[in-house]
Structures are given as C-alpha cells and as structure tokens.
Amino acid sequence: MSSDPEFETLVERHYGALYRFALSLTHQETDAADLVQQAFLVWARKGHQLRDRSKARTWLFTTLHRLFIESRRKADRFAGEPLDETSSEIPNISPERARRVDAETLLQALAGIDETFRAPVALFYLEDYPYLEIAEILGVPLGTVKSRISRGIGQLQKCLSDPIRPQSPKPS
C-alpha cells in the first residue's frame, strides 16, 4: 500500500503539537498518543471534506479535543473496577459443564447479564466478530471491548453456575 505524501507531511508538521496538547488534557502518555492517532485516523477518513487546507491544524486540534471529551464521557459512563481487581471473582466452570449447556440456556443466561456486556459477548462468541470489528461496531476502544467481554463472560459464568437460576415460564 502506497502512502499519501500530503498525509505524511501533515503528520510531520502537526504531530508534536497535537501530542503536547493531548498530554496536557490526559496527563498520560499512552492516552495522549491514542488521541493523536485517533485524530489522524479521523483526518484520513474525513479530511478530504475540508475545503480550506490552511485550516487543517485547527481542524485536527478541534477533532482531538472532541475525541478527548467523548472519551471522558464514556469513561464516566462506564467507570468501574479495573479488570485485574475483579479477576479473582470470576468463577471457574469445568469444560464438561460448558459443553452440556444448550443454546436456549445460553441465550437465557446471556439475557441475564448486564446490558453493557451483552453486546460485546454476543458479537464475539455468537457472531464470531474479531475485537477490532466489535470496537468499531460499538464505537468503543479496543481495550474496552476486551474488558467488557471478560466481565460479561464472568457474569455469564455466574448465571450458568448458579443452580437456582430463574427459569422462563413454559407455555401451557
């Protein structure tokens, strides 16, 4: 794949300033680098729509700031314990038990997990989407997808291992 010289020039010209701005917002080097990359990704996808190319710098800074605000809103909405702290709470289920679970039981259990985790788990395990596509579909970062799948599986395992699980009423 050949690279676009105009895009490379834009990156060379503005990366440092964008990174410093992102670092001042996030106070984390990795988060700042991610924001800058996201801003350039948006440029790669939508930059052609900018009629006055002299405003590219302003457009990039505005885009980066909007991405930062959006990421903070998502972080506030989906704040929770770090995955490392909850990994000890995830129960173990034997492979034999997992094989015995039929599709109906699995779907009932899936309906019983938190809605935040349901979509990523379903997309990954039922639809066979890779993490990156799930992130794109749900509009969340890759790390969030991985975390939600892990936590969703934990909830699913609890539902499946609970011997007194409410059963849906059978039609008479």
Report pLDDT digits (tens) over 98-157: 656 566 677 778 778 888 888 888 778 776 778 888 888 788 899 999 999 999 999 988
What's the token pair of residue 93?
A: 């289920």
Find the radius of gyration of the CA atoms of the chain: 22
Which residue, among 157, 164, 171, has the nearest Cα to 109 in the 3D structure? 157
Q: Which domains does the chain have, with CATH numbers?
A: 5-77 (1.10.1740.10), 83-161 (1.10.10.10)
Q: pLDDT value at position 167?
A: 47
Q: pLDDT value at position 151?
A: 93
Quote the CA–CA distance of 135 and 12 in Å, as a whole number: 28
pLDDT at 24 over 70: yes
Contacts of 26 (CB under 8 A, 6+ apart): 32, 35, 68
The string of pLDDT tens digits covering residues 45-66 is 988 888 887 888 888 888 888 8
Quote the CA–CA distance of 150 and 41 in Å, as a whole number: 27
- Give the mean pLDDT of 16-35: 87
Cα 22–chain centre separation: 20
In this prediction, residue 71 has a pLDDT band, given cuts at 50, 70 and 90, of confident
* Mean pLDDT, the chain, integer: 78
First-to-last alpha carbon distance for the chain, in angstroms, is 62
In this prediction, residue 38 has a pLDDT band, given cuts at 50, 70 and 90, of very high
Quote the CA–CA distance of 67 and 40 in Å, as a whole number: 11
DSSP letter assigned to residue 78: T
